[in-house]
Amino acid sequence: MNSVYFSAQFHSSASDPYYCPESTAEVAFAGRSNAGKSSAINTITRNGKLARTSKTPGRTQLINHFSLDEGKFLVDLPGYGYAKVSKDRQKEWQSAMTRYLISRSSLRGLVLVMDIRHPLTDSDWTLIELQQQGQASLHIILTKADKISKNQASSSLMGVQQALSDAGVDATLQDFSALKKQGVGDAHKVLDSWLYESSLSVE
């Protein structure tokens, strides 16, 4: 089933959830503007040009849908937590994300991308709180694992898991490195369970 992600293609962009395409099932990716979200999407799909990557954080300003098959999509949500974005823009983002995460009936799961060296920022918690109000499951990818030792990565994973548990948040999580293609198989298994296995039980 993994190979389906390698055929992902850009479908459409929308400034508001109202204009998003109809879908049978989709998984959204979100994260701080410098967390490596676009690189993670590109690594998972083996397409270095699918999601825009930039040395300037905040390039993803729209809700971008990438088509898979059978009306299924991967979705790149606007980056957040970038200081140079105006407060009005931040309010617009939070309003759009609230409506998308809570009301999007085809949303099966949210992949929250965080820098393994700086996990669970205030902005991350804000998004988790929104996700908790909807029906979508939560998976956390801790990126840039190549930047630290295995012991440090393990410690960070355990710390995030404990913090989520203390907050009563049910989530799966993994470490990831776009540079070393580490964790791609684990990510594919999560996507499979949401997009394909779960769809078997959906009417």
**Structural domains for the chain:** 2-192 (3.40.50.300)
Angle at 54 between CA 52 and CA 59, to 5 degrees: 65
What is the model's pLDDT at position 60?
A: 59
pLDDT at position 71 over 60? yes
Q: What is the mean pLDDT of residues 125-145?
A: 95
Q: Which are the contacts of 52, defined by CB distance < 8 A and separation ≥ 6?
A: 38, 59, 60
pTM of the full structure: 0.92
pLDDT at 33 over 90: no
Query: Span 139-163, mean pLDDT?
Result: 97
Find all residues with CB under 8 Å of 46, minimum gap 6, and list them.
5, 6
Instruction: Provide mean pLDDT across the span 23-52.
Output: 93
What amino acid is encoded at 118 in this protein? H
Better-scored residue on pLDDT, 56 or 171: 171
Confidence (pLDDT) at 2 = 61
- Nearest Cα neighbor of 22 from 57, 55, 67, 59 is 67
Q: Is the pLDDT of residue 55 over 80?
A: no
Q: How far apart are CA 82 and CA 35, in angstroms?
A: 11
Q: What is the pLDDT of residue 203?
A: 36
Q: How confident is the model at residue 95 (pLDDT cuts 50, 70, 90)?
A: confident
Task: Report the candidate in 66, 99, 96, 104 with the shortest Cα–Cα distance to residue 80.
Answer: 96
